[in-house]
Amino acid sequence: MFTLARSARAGLIFLLVIFFLLAGGQTGHRREGVEALGGGIPAQPGAADGKSLAFTGDDGQGSFSSGGEDGPRLPVSQDGEGGVEADPEEPGSEDAFLVEVSLAAQRVRVFHYGQLLREMVASTGLPDKPTPTGHFRIQNRGEWFFSKKYQQGGKYWVSFKDWGVYLFHSVPMDARQQIIPEEAAKLGRPASHGCVRLSVEDARWFYETIPTGTPVHIH
């Protein structure tokens, strides 16, 4: 009887050991599976290398940017609606200079980090040849041009639209680079074919001072 009871206990212990081994293995598999899934939450693209997308909108409308230096760059909303890219012509915080042209006042104002640096008397386009309005950026430039069509030229030209079509430049000159007096006398009122005329002194300052890429706002 004693031998039979001992054999029964040994058999029971063996069964318990097998049961716990099997249960532990299944728990381990389940744990590994959860860890592989990130705790049951689908992994974000690029999460393993710190480049997961970060929600940065202050208005709760969906403005996104990447958390990594070379991660995906999604458009940043300017109006809180998401997916609307900023106008590349509009001034940004990185712009040191800003050029403002007032058609009503016939003035050009140059700002440097928000402070008025210089104000200049100008002549913009006539009603039938208006100066374009809106946001632009400074393009190419040169020291002299002459239009055979209009028999007029100008010094210190700086383009703001269409790469040499719409310019800031001096008051008109003839082919010998002499100021045309009757045209110079119009400075301060609309007189051009769409360009923005300045005095020779102001045109030279503008040419030498305003960097390429500077935003221009004409209104």
Provide the annotated active-site residues: 169, 195
- The token pair at 45 is 């693209």
Residues linked to residue 158 through DSSP beta bridges, in sequence order = 141, 168
Q: What is the DSSP letter of 188?
A: T
Cα dist. 5→8, 17, 198 in Å?
5, 19, 115
- Alpha-carbon distance of 212 to 147, in angstroms, equals 24
Helix, strand, coil proportions of the chain in percent (round to 5)? 25, 30, 45
- Alpha-carbon distance of 87 to 77, in angstroms, equals 11
Residue 121 identity (one-letter amino acid): V
Inter-residue contact 157 to 94 (CB < 8 Å): no
- The token pair at 123 is 């002549």
